[in-house]
A and B are shown apart, each in its own frame.
Chain A
Amino acid sequence: MSSTATGYYRAGASWLHRRNPTTKLLALFWIILATFLLPPASLVVIAAAIGAAAATASLLRPLLRSLRIPLVLLASIVVVNALFFPEGRDVLFAFGPVAVTREGLTFGLVSAGRIGIIFLASLLFLFTTLADDLLEALVARGVSSRLAFVVLSAVQMVPRLQARAYAILDAQQARGLPIAGSLRTRVRALVPLIGPILLGSLIDVRERTLALEARSFGARPRRTAYRIVADPPVDRWLRVGVIVGLVAVVAVAVGGVGR
């Protein structure tokens, strides 16, 4: 079990690790926008850029390995669209009543590509950014500390829920619940899993909230910082670059619509 303080973070000192969290957050935002607003062909370029960035930070292998998590989802998006895209006309090949259409296949590939790219970019962000640095960097930019903490909790939520889910499955199996086997068995195992995840998490959240309150979290409008998150001059220039990029992407999109 990875600790929740580090979450998905993989310790390192690469150029990507050294960037200020706000710079990376801004770049992530640009990628999300670009995958939807730029022409589909650009997806290949963005994916290659993410791959290259990961490679220079020695994170390409873990990044690609983690692709197996959304693989089923991505594959089903491609298959369902290829077969059932409502505006599909150009039939590539057919098996009896179902046919794969060019429009459907294209739409499926583009949609899956977008989701895949956003997944990879977000993960690369989490791999190279310490949750606490993100919190401090956001607060330093004037984001309310409560809002910043919500962002932090979201980042930490997945590993925490994972650990809890394993503990719950252990406890239910010990009371005779089968969890592997047919689809029906798996579905039946969901209620005894999700119930305690929700209820137990609420109890946890309550105690954590009280503990944070006890440390005067959010009690004062301004807080000070103990650890200073590095923000080298190059980050400032990078952020200017990303913001220009954001404007450019929006301009291309709006221009494209107008054309």
Chain B
Amino acid sequence: MTADRATLAVDDLRVRYVGRAEQALDGVSLVVGPGEMVGVAGRTRAGKSTLALVAAGFIPRVIRARLEGRVTLDGLSVPTATAAQLGGRVGIVFSTPANQLSTSKLTVRDELAFGLENLAIPRSDMDRRIDDVLDRLGIAHLADREPLALSGGEQQRVAIASILAMGTGLLVLDEPAAELDPVGATAVADILADLSAAGTATLVAEHLVGILGRATRVAVLDRGHVAVEGPPGQALGSAAIGPIGLHPPTLVALAEAAGLPATAAFDETRIADALSSSTNAPPTTPAAGRRQMPLAWEAVRDEPPTTIEVRALVHRYPTGIDAVRGVTLSIAAGESIAIVGQNGSGKTTLVKHLNGLLRPSSGDVRLGGRTIAGRPVHEIARTVGLVFQHPDDQIFNRTVEREVAFGPRQLGVGQPSLDLLVERAIAAVGLDGERITNPYDLGSSERKLVTLASVLATEPAIMILDEPTNGQDGPGLDRVGAIVDGWTAAGRTVVAITHDMEFAAAHFGRIVVMRGGEIVADGPPDRILGPDLRDVLTSTGLIAPPAARIAARLGLPGVPRDADELLARLRRHRGTRDGAVRT
């Protein structure tokens, strides 16, 4: 199978958006050739999306900006090319799966035909091209399904297929896995690796190590320029990304600690071998001591910690589908619970019962021993705060400050407590410098932090977070983690839905695994992510985080939260073993 071949060459690219003082890109040079998958990493606002939009020909044609430098696709100047010239040569996929589709097609087959129709491909050629791309991506079984009824991971694969069906030689992706569950993210990563191996030039901006680790090369952007470029193990290593405020991924850190070359950075077998055979366990990883202190938060409102109980909860949607099927869950004050499971396993439906947005078809939810049946949502909001997945479904104020003040104001919090809550909440998410910024001038990952702050400011006894880490870079992840740690340290409760198993292991005392509307496992990370429950986890499409996987290979007891904890356990384990030998 040969793919259409193309080479993208970016030379000294500078981009400044209209009305902005700072450069979004400031002298970027990069080449993506056939058979290459180039990952673009970097912190929020480093210029990753801008680079993707330029490569796809959207800047300055669709999105206005001042552009200098050269960007060519097989010699064609991309910034000055017309839509007709670029069509069928380059395509882009963004992060929100449903928005990548034409929304009017009833089958995947029709969806793939849409681009071909626009290119005026003769009708007689369409079926062949559609079948060909369905085969190449291994999604022939989706051909007759309705695109909007597919899971996010399936939709993203259809979106990629619809671009490739047009004969595209350069595939550009802007955080394609940001909203996917681990199964979907892995499927997308597999497809990208296969496609580039078969010849498609691929440029992918991402935070997720699952995608970046599969790239042939990674370019790390810092404030508009390429800080480092090389194989993923090297470009994501501590020497490369430490100076710009990012942490190396766990596997990379462990490979470094074990003294392995960059090429082995994602090879779990080699990492485990090197760690088990080295006589002296390395003292720490090069990135040790990075864990952020828990957020210190003194109570302002007089809202005491409380318990929440879910009893035999069933939720049946009007369509007759049971989204939650008999869940019982007892949560003590001060607990931190991560709810994990594939999309569609009932996680969001379950947590929407905790503040009364959904009411049980049968069963009961009790707050501090009292049922919440009959109590209106805005009243329960005094005790239970819920941060939704999509920030754009709630932000409406002109400034970050006003948006964050909305919640406590609704609860009737007066001065000076209001100002205090707003100030602390904004500081907790690290947006001190943006208090009077319009939230819509921030990036989507920062808007997400604004919504987190807006619920934090209501100081709920029980805080529920739906996918709080989506789209966050390393520092953003640390901030969210510090908030979870600080909230529970103060005796309050956090319940978070998350796909990020590393985040779940690092900040939560209890992990609840859901599948098909039921809880299939519930316990501390040590048990849930340990070898005994590996099959249960796998059956839900999840896998233990990297440190836990390596620990299992080494036969270490327990589940380490990160690379340093793994090394510490390894040392302790060796110490007892050697001690035993000596006596």
A and B: real partners?
Answer: yes
Chain A interfacial positions (CB closer than 8 Å to B): 3-6, 130-132, 135, 145, 152, 156, 164, 167-168, 170-180, 191-192, 194-196, 199-200, 203-204, 207-220, 222-227
Q: Contact: A175 with B106, CB < 8 Å?
A: no
- Set A156, A175, A209: member contacting B381, Cβ < 8 A: A175
Q: Contact: B117 with A199, CB < 8 Å?
A: no
Which positions 137-165 of chain B face chain A at CB distance < 8 Å? 146-149, 159, 162-163
Alpha-carbon distance between A152 and B458 when the two chains are bound, in angstroms: 42
- How far in angstroms is the closest Cβ of chain B from A203? 6
B123 proximal to A (CB < 8 A) = yes
- Smallest CB gap from A178: residue in B: B378
Q: Contact: A210 with B94, CB < 8 Å?
A: yes
Q: Contact: B99 with A224, CB < 8 Å?
A: no
17 additional A-B residue pairs with CB within 8 Å, beyond A177-B378, A195-B397: A130-B106, A132-B110, A170-B357, A173-B377, A174-B377, A176-B378, A176-B382, A176-B458, A178-B410, A179-B378, A204-B99, A204-B392, A210-B92, A214-B92, A215-B91, A215-B114, A216-B119
- Set A6, A175, A222: member contacting B394, Cβ < 8 A: A175
Provided the pairs A178-B378, A180-B376 are in contact, do residues A224 and B121 lie with their beta carbons within 8 angstroms? yes
Which positions 270-298 of chain B face chain A at CB distance < 8 Å? none
Q: Contact: A196 with B395, CB < 8 Å?
A: yes
- Smallest CB gap from A3: residue in B: B148
Task: Show 5 A/B contacts (Cβ-Cβ < 8 Å), sorted by A.
Answer: A175-B454, A176-B378, A200-B393, A211-B159, A214-B92
- Smallest CB gap from A226: residue in B: B113
Residues of B close to A214: CB separation below 8 A: 56, 91-93, 163
B103 proximal to A (CB < 8 A) = yes
Residues of A close to B392: CB separation below 8 A: 196, 199-200, 203-204
- Smallest CB gap from A189: residue in B: B378
Which positions 418-460 of chain B face chain A at CB distance < 8 Å? 440, 451, 454-455, 458
B386 proximal to A (CB < 8 A) = yes
- Set A173, A192, A219: member contacting B406, Cβ < 8 A: A192
Residues of A close to B352: CB separation below 8 A: 170
Alpha-carbon distance between A225 and B119 when the two chains are bound, in angstroms: 10
- Set B101, B355, B411: member contacting A211, Cβ < 8 A: B101
- Set B62, B103, B126, B355: member contacting A174, Cβ < 8 A: B355
Residues of A close to B120: CB separation below 8 A: 220, 222-224
Alpha-carbon distance between A131 and B103 when the two chains are bound, in angstroms: 10
Size range of the chain B interface in the assembly = 35 or more
Provided the pairs A175-B381, A199-B396 are in contact, do residues A216 and B87 lie with their beta carbons within 8 angstroms? yes
Residues of B close to A135: CB separation below 8 A: 104
- How far in angstroms is the closest Cβ of chain A from B143? 13
Q: Contact: A216 with B88, CB < 8 Å?
A: yes
B554 proximal to A (CB < 8 A) = no
Provided the pairs A180-B376, A215-B163, A226-B110 are in contact, do residues A210 and B394 lie with their beta carbons within 8 angstroms? no
- How far in angstroms is the closest Cβ of chain A from B115? 4
B407 proximal to A (CB < 8 A) = yes
Q: Chain A's interface: helix, strand, loop or mixed, by majority?
A: helix
Q: Contact: B117 with A224, CB < 8 Å?
A: yes
Provided the pairs A5-B148, A216-B118 are in contact, do residues A207 and B99 lie with their beta carbons within 8 angstroms? yes
- Smallest CB gap from A7: residue in B: B104
User: Beta-carbon contacts of B71-112 to A below 8 Å, as 1s and 0s?
Assistant: 000000000001110111001111010011111111000100
Residues of A close to B100: CB separation below 8 A: 211
Alpha-carbon distance between A96 and B440 when the two chains are bound, in angstroms: 55
B136 proximal to A (CB < 8 A) = no
Q: Contact: A218 with B104, CB < 8 Å?
A: no
Alpha-carbon distance between A172 and B377 when the two chains are bound, in angstroms: 10
- How far in angstroms is the closest Cβ of chain A from B412? 9
- Smallest CB gap from A222: residue in B: B120
Q: Contact: A178 with B407, CB < 8 Å?
A: no
Q: Contact: B388 with A225, CB < 8 Å?
A: no
- Set B102, B118, B395, B410: member contacting A176, Cβ < 8 A: B410
Alpha-carbon distance between A130 and B376 when the two chains are bound, in angstroms: 39
Residues of B close to A3: CB separation below 8 A: 146, 148-149
B116 proximal to A (CB < 8 A) = yes
Residues of A close to B84: CB separation below 8 A: 216, 219-220
Q: Contact: B381 with A225, CB < 8 Å?
A: no
- With a 10 A CB-CB cut-off, give which of B101, B113, B147, B392 has the most chain A CB atoms: B392
Residues of B close to A176: CB separation below 8 A: 378, 381-382, 407, 410-411, 458
What are the 3 tightest A-B residue pairs by CB atom distance, in nearest-first order? A195-B396, A216-B87, A176-B410
Residues of A close to B123: CB separation below 8 A: 224-226
Q: Contact: B381 with A216, CB < 8 Å?
A: no
B320 proximal to A (CB < 8 A) = no
- Smallest CB gap from B106: residue in A: A5
- With a 10 A CB-CB cut-off, give which of A173, A176, A220 has the most chain B CB atoms: A176
Alpha-carbon distance between A162 and B154 when the two chains are bound, in angstroms: 25
Q: Contact: B378 with A210, CB < 8 Å?
A: no
Provided the pairs A173-B357, A173-B377, A227-B110 are in contact, do residues A217 and B101 lie with their beta carbons within 8 angstroms? no
- Smallest CB gap from B407: residue in A: A175
B58 proximal to A (CB < 8 A) = yes
